[in-house]
Structure 1
Amino acid sequence: MKSLSKLITIILSLAIAGFFISCKSNSDDEEFYSINIVAPVVDGELSVDKKTAKQGEEVTITATPREGYVLKTLSVKDSASNDITVTNLKFQMPASNVNISVEFAAKSSASYTITVSTCENGTVTAAKDSATAGQFISLNNKPDDGYELREYIIKDANGNTLQINKLFGLVYFTMPASDVTVSASFTDCYVKIAYGIKYGTITVNKTDPEEGDIITINIEPKTGATLKTITATTKEGTEVTVTLADDKKSGTCTMPKSIVTITATFDGSYIPGSIVLSDETIIPYEENLKLTEQQKADAVAIICYNGTDILGIGLNDSKLLKWTETEAFATNYGTNLTSPFNTDWKIPNKKELSAVLKAKDIIDTSRELCNHSKLEKEYYWSSTADESDSNKAYFITGDGLIDSKLKTDSCKAFVIRDFTPAP
């Protein structure tokens, strides 16, 4: 009997121990959930005292607005987007990951001073002498006789330069949560680059030269474009002589005591994407180009490569052809076109075909402008036979893959033509 009693006692002891071990194990395996801060946090800082927490654990949030701002909203949501109650920047962790977001707002009552500095050779004015953060403050200036505004300079209380904005002739800045100082510089000797230059850019080595300084002008046409004219003119209308380098990639002029505006024109007729019409007119490619219905109907080719030669691609692809049929396709391509576009079309060789397909995106844009479909991602024959196998010729896919296949196989083809202008 005593033995049985001992056995029961041992079993009960083990069961109780197992119960506590089981409880401890469950506690140790309790799941942790992540605490995520939703970006971006603007005009302040947001942090939490832990990155993960168990269900029921208290989490503390710290939300610090930047100077001139206040906490507007604070939101804690679980993974199902349910709101979690926040009290005194603390909440109880649910059985879910949570996302914390915050919004700071400018103090509506905070007003900051706008100080306008005295300027040499002109005056500047601001629309207000004080403003709250976020307000738009417009600026005006009046140069002295013989001078012109060089630039506005707006700085906050920490010396940071603020951005100047322009809209429909209005010049303004956005008021920060800080006092600001407004000033401007005026000059009677300054170089400006004209607005609206197409198909190329020009830059100068100095914009604030002294009278008599030599100004170097850098000239950068777009690929395929060429410089037509470049001029430098004083504000009084006097032309300043520009001496061009032999390669027309740079020029120089001597700075007079005046405001000088430099402008240039470029011929963009032969930049890739330009559209050739049947009357030999070329419409230079540019973004947002629009064609009339007549121009679309008259389009015969698209400039697609500008290197040693200027090549244009015909707008009509072939159907599937054997390699031996491509020469006839090229020969007959211009049958329904007017002179000079009724002859001299050819199938591009391997090198030319590769160069053309590298410009596929811009070619496709111009083809669609002319009511033609994009180049397909098909195999396109080149005119180049495979040197290692006389039964094969090279083709290139619309994705740029180069390979060879039997001449009796079928691929599509397109034609090109030399559009290099006569010297």
Structure 2
Amino acid sequence: MTRKRMAETRLAKPSALAQAGLLARLAGRGLKRRLNGGTDPQKEAAAFTDAFTAAMAKAEPGLAAWALCEALGEAADWVDTGIDLKPGQPFSLFAAGAVWLAKPLDLRFGPQTGLWFRVGEGPVRKMLGATHTGIAEEGGRLTLITKPPGEWLTEDGRFDPAYPREKLEGAFCVGIAIWKNGHTRQHLASLTSLHPLFEREWKRLEAPIETPEGWHYLWRLGEGEIYRQEMNADNCMHCHTKEDVGILQYPVEMPLTDALTLDWCWKADRLPSSLAENIQPTHDYLSIAVEFDNGQDLTYMWSAKLKPGTIFRCPLPWWDQRETHWVVRGPEDLGRWLDEARPLKADYETAIGGPLPKKIVAVWLIAVSCFQRGEGVCAYDRIDLVDGRERVRVV
């Protein structure tokens, strides 16, 4: 039996009955939220529109320009804001509303997951949250688009033809403020009482969460503020995800030998899903992964319901050709520091199979909470790649 065939026989796939059960649970949750008077994104967007207009009148002395735009979920191309930015010009974005993946299941995403912008012909950027402040690296027209994570072909904003744009219900109302100078926090301080989004951005700028040194977020999912490393406290890598998604990457090159292991110590305090994570609508999880030089990645994850040892391919489009999940921990282990060590070559043969890659090219930290809009909390005390006496410290 070939390695590829061996891997295929060990992959766990949810039965039709199991999938139906998960979808029924989601539908029931959605109905309960609606009956309990859950938030209405459309009403929130309308209230924000009024507040933003009043705020811009108050902030007029510090403004170079401002605009209100609507980024529709059904829009097939970039939305022209009518705003031109000069190189080095500071700007802030504020967004309210939601775009629906499946309304009967109460699956929707917010701007921190699916609102992207671009300046001129520059690279695509995702909102850091419901608010975002930046400086235009190059001049050009500011454009917006709504889209779920993925679907990009290139970093300059071209769509992957293999994953055509779906027309989704819903929209984001986006307020755009272009500042005359760099005193953004000072301008926002006078607006915090007018709407929570102004207060959020002011607080974020007062205490920014910096991307840990040596790491970067995967551009395909956008930058984020999910991970922080407490260098002056416990030196741990902390993860807090809520209604968002992000992959933090650390580039490293290690030959894939028989002895190579990924060693780490982690603790999860809260999982973003209470349901099995092996279908797309419930695919919220916390994990650590290694990327191989053939484009495949193997991710070791916590699961709310799947048994440790369960192996399955990612249920998301595009990722289903590249990512394999291996459940190593469950809810019974929450709240405890745990030491792990995985033999990467043997695990690759078991989980993926086929021709072996030659080396490891990156370590990933993954946090997904965008589907069910839950919350996940975990921390990493140590991450090492070890091959005999050679040890590469990642955290």
Pick the TM interval, shorter chain: under 0.3
> Which structure's CA Rg is the greater one?
1
Which has a greater percent of helix? 2
Q: TM-score, normalised by structure 1?
A: 0.22
Q: TM-score, normalised by structure 2?
A: 0.23
Report which structure shows greater RCO (CA 8 Å, sep ≥6): 2
